[in-house]
Chains A and B, each alone.
Chain A
Amino acid sequence: MAFIAELWAFIKERKKFWLLPVIVVMVLFGGLLVLAQGSAVAPFIYTLF
C-alpha cells in the first residue's frame, strides 16, 4: 500500500494525472509479461533503466 501511496504522491507532485491510465494499462500489461516470462534480466542498453 505504501508503494501505491508514494506513486500517487509522485503523480500529484509532478501533475502528471494523464499518465495514470497509461501506468495502469502498462503495469497490467507488464504484469502479464512478468507472469509469462519467469525471470527478469536487466537488459544491456542502459537507457532502458
Chain B
Amino acid sequence: MRILGISAFYHDSAAALLVDGVIVAAAQEERFTRKKHDPAFPKNAIEYCLEEAGITMADVDYVAFYDKPFLKFERLLETYLAFAPRGFLSFKTAIPVWMKEKLFQKDFLRKEFKKYDPDFDWMNKLLFAEHHQSHAASAFYPSPFEEAIVLTMDGVGEWATTSVAIGRGNKLEMVKEIHFPHSLGLLYSAFTYYTGFRVNSGEYKVMGLAPYGQPKYKDLIMEHLIDVKEDGSFRLDMSYFNYATGLTMTNQKFADLFGKPVRGREGEELEQFHMDIAASVQAVTEEVVLRLTRSLAEEYGIKNLCMAGGVALNCVANGKVLRDQAFENVWVQPAAGDAGGALGAAMTAHYHHKGEPRVADTGKDFMRGSYLGPVYEQADIEKRLTEAGAVFEVLSDEDTIAATADAMAAERAIGWMQGRMEFGPRALGGRSIIADPRSPKMQKILNLKVKYRESFRPFAPSVLREDVAQWFDLDGDSPYMLMVADVHKDKQKEMTPQQEALFGIEKLNVPRSDIPAVTHVDYSARIQTIHEDTNPRFYGVVKAFKERTGCPVSVNTSFNVRGEPIVNTPEDAFRCFMGTELDNLVVGNCFLKKEDQDKKLKLDYKNAFELD
C-alpha cells in the first residue's frame, strides 16, 4: 500500500511517502523552492517522493493531510466569540484569508491532485488526521518501541496544544489534551517575540541565549503568567498575552511585568536582561515538561516515552527529561515540527485507518537516520558542478575521506554534501558544514564569515557513537541531535574568575574545553551520535579525523547561511560555497578547494537571504 502524507499551508510544508509501511521518501518544500519555512502546497516535495519510489499519483492508494481545517476554523470562531468585541482587528485580518482559501482546502487539494491524476478519487482517497494525532503518530510509529507514552507539545493545532497518547503496536489512543489558548509553545513564542526574535523560527535563538543568563524571572513567570499543577498541566493568564485576539504575541501588561518594552528586531542590542529572560522561560519550560513526564511515568507505568511537536525540538529540555530517568527510554521524532506532520498523517492512515500490523522488535527506529531526501549520483554531481563552473578533483572513496579529514585537521571549514538529504530541521551529516571542534577560533569564523549569523549562537558536535561517553555526559544514542548534555568533566577547562566575570557573549570566546567550538558557555553541547550503519561516509570522515588528531568529534552545523534553507542540490551547495568563506566543498567524490575556483563566480551571500 502506498500512502502520501502532506503538511502544508501554515509553515514548513512537506511530503512523505510510505510504501507498505516503510518510509521511502520525505522532504520539506523549502529545500526545493529555496524559501525558508515555505508554506505553499508541496508540489516539488510530492514530485520528489513519487520519483524516488518510481511511481505516479495513479499508484498512490491514499493521500493523508496533517490537520483538519474545519476544526481550526471552529477554534477560531469560538475564540473570537469568547473574546468579542476585543479581537476585531485580528478577525478582520484572519477571516478574509479563511474565506478565500483556508476553508476550501479540501477543494484546493482535490484540484491540485487532479493535475497529477485526473481520475483521482478524492472522496475515498483523501484522508485528514488531526494536527496532534499527526504529531503523535510521527513520534510513535517510527519509534523503536512496541509500547510508549506519546507526548506532543507545540504552539497550537486545531484545539490541542499539548496532548498525551498511548501507543501499543499499531494502536495510538489519545488520552488527554490541553487546549488553546493555554500553550507551552505559545508561551515560549511570546518570549521569543518579547526578546526581539521572529516567532516560529527564533525559538532556537532564545534557547541558545539562555545559558548566558540567570533564570531571575522564573518565579515571576510562574507566579503571574502560568499556573502549573503538580502533574504538569497548566493554564496561562491570558490578560498578559495578545495572541488570541491581537496581532502581537504579548501586550503592555506583559512588558510592564518585566519592566522593559519589547526589544526591536535587529536594531536594539541584546542586553543581559534579555539573556536572563531567555534563561527564565527556558527554566519554566523545563519545569513544565519535567512535571509532565514524571507524572505520566507514574500514572501509566510505561517505560518508553516518545515526543514530537515544536516544543520537542527544545533539546535542552529533552536532555533533562532523559537524565531525569522517569522513563527508561526517550525517543524524539527528528522532524518534530510541522514538516513531520506529513509523515505522521501518512502513518495514521497506514496503521490507524487501515489497521496494518506494526512490529517494533529490532531495537532500532524506522527513520533510517532521517536520511530520506534526494540523493545525487556521482556522474550527475560531476555534470552539475561542471555546468556551474566549479573546479574540482574526483577522488576515490578512501581519498575523499582522507582529504576531508586532512582539511578538517588543518582548521579548514568544509561544506559536506553526501548521500540523501535529511528530513527535519537538523543537518546530520548529509548536508552539513563540518570543521575541527578543537580550534579556538572556529566558532567565531563559522558564525561571522560562513553562517553570517549572531555571534552568540553555539555549534553542535557530532561524535562517533562509541566515543560519546568519553567526551560527553551521555551514554546512549542521539542520532538526531535532539539531546543536550554537558561536555565530559575531563574535557572541560575551568574559567578563571576574570573570565567568569566577562559579559555574556564575550565568555563564548574563552576556550572552556578541549573542543571549544562546540561547547556552550554553560559547558553544554547539542550532541549528534554518528552511526556507521546509517551514515558510513560521515562516520568514516570523523573516524579518519580521530586517527589524525585523537578527537572523535566534528563541528556539525547545517549547510546554509542564516535565513537560507539547507542546501539540496550540488548547485545549491556550490553557490553557498562561493557565497561564503568556506574553504572546501565535498560533494560525493568531488573535492573542491576555494583557492582553485574562478573568482568571478564569487557571490555575495551575506545579504542574499531575508534574516530569520
Contacts and interface: CB of A to CB of B under 8 A. Distances in A.
A27 B103 CA distance: 11
Interface in A26-49: 26-27, 29-31, 33-34, 37, 40-49
Interface in B134-156: 155-156
Contacts of B247: 43-45
Interface in A6-34: 6-7, 10, 14, 16, 19, 22-23, 26-27, 29-31, 33-34
B423 to A, nearest CB: 22
Contact of B97 (A10, A31, A40): A40
A31 B95 CA distance: 8
A30 B95 contact: yes
Interface string B73-89: 01011101100000000
A48 B93 contact: yes
A27 B107 contact: no
B366 interface: no
Contacts of B106: 3, 6
A6 B106 CA distance: 10
B248 A22 contact: no
Contacts of B273: none
Nearest to A39: B96
Contacts of A31: 99
A34 B97 CA distance: 8
Contacts, number: 86
B435 to A, nearest CB: 35
A30 B98 contact: yes
Interface string B1-41: 00000000111000000000000000000000000000100
A44 B93 CA distance: 10
A49 to B, nearest CB: 5
Nearest to B110: A2
A39 to B, nearest CB: 8
B233 interface: no
A46 B95 contact: no
Contacts of B599: none
B199 A46 contact: yes
Nearest to B103: A3
Interface string B245-273: 01111000000000000000000000000
Nearest to A27: B99
A48 B167 CA distance: 31
Q: Chain A CB within 10 Å — which of B70, B155, B199 has the most?
A: B70
Given A2-B107, A26-B95, A34-B96, A46 B74 contact: no
Contacts of A27: 99
B611 interface: no
Contacts of B71: 10, 14
Contacts of A37: 96
A31 B103 CA distance: 13
A43 B97 contact: yes
A19 B75 CA distance: 11
- The listed residue with most A CB atoms (<10 A of its CB), out of B77, B99, B101, is B99
A44 to B, nearest CB: 7
B323 interface: no
B102 interface: yes
A34 B99 contact: yes
Nearest to B198: A44
B354 interface: no
Given A10-B70, A22-B81, A45 B103 contact: no
A1 to B, nearest CB: 11
B180 A47 contact: yes
Given A40-B101, A43-B93, A3 B78 contact: no
Contacts of B246: 45
Contacts of B77: 19, 22-23, 26
B89 to A, nearest CB: 10
Contact of B199 (A2, A41, A44): A44
B100 A34 contact: yes
A40 B246 CA distance: 17
Contact of B72 (A3, A26, A34, A49): A49
Q: Which of A23, A27, A30, A45 has the most CB of B within 10 A?
A: A45
Contacts of A44: 199, 247
Given A10-B70, A19-B78, A45 B199 contact: yes
B46 interface: no
Contacts of B156: 46-47
Contact of B243 (A16, A22, A33, A47): A47
Contacts of B180: 47
Contacts of A23: 77
Nearest to A2: B107
Interface in B157-185: 180-181
Contacts of B107: 2-3
A40 B100 contact: yes
A42 to B, nearest CB: 5
A48 B76 contact: yes
Closest 3 pairs between A and B when the two form their complex, measured CB to CB = A30-B95, A40-B96, A48-B94
27 contacts: A2-B107, A3-B104, A3-B106, A3-B107, A6-B106, A26-B80, A26-B95, A27-B99, A30-B96, A30-B98, A34-B96, A40-B96, A42-B39, A42-B97, A43-B94, A44-B247, A45-B246, A46-B10, A46-B199, A46-B200, A47-B155, A47-B156, A47-B181, A48-B93, A48-B97, A49-B10, A49-B76
Interface of A: 2-3, 6-7, 10, 14, 16, 19, 22-23, 26-27, 29-31, 33-34, 37, 40-49
Given A43-B90, A45-B249, 5 more contacts: A7-B70, A40-B97, A43-B93, A47-B180, A47-B186
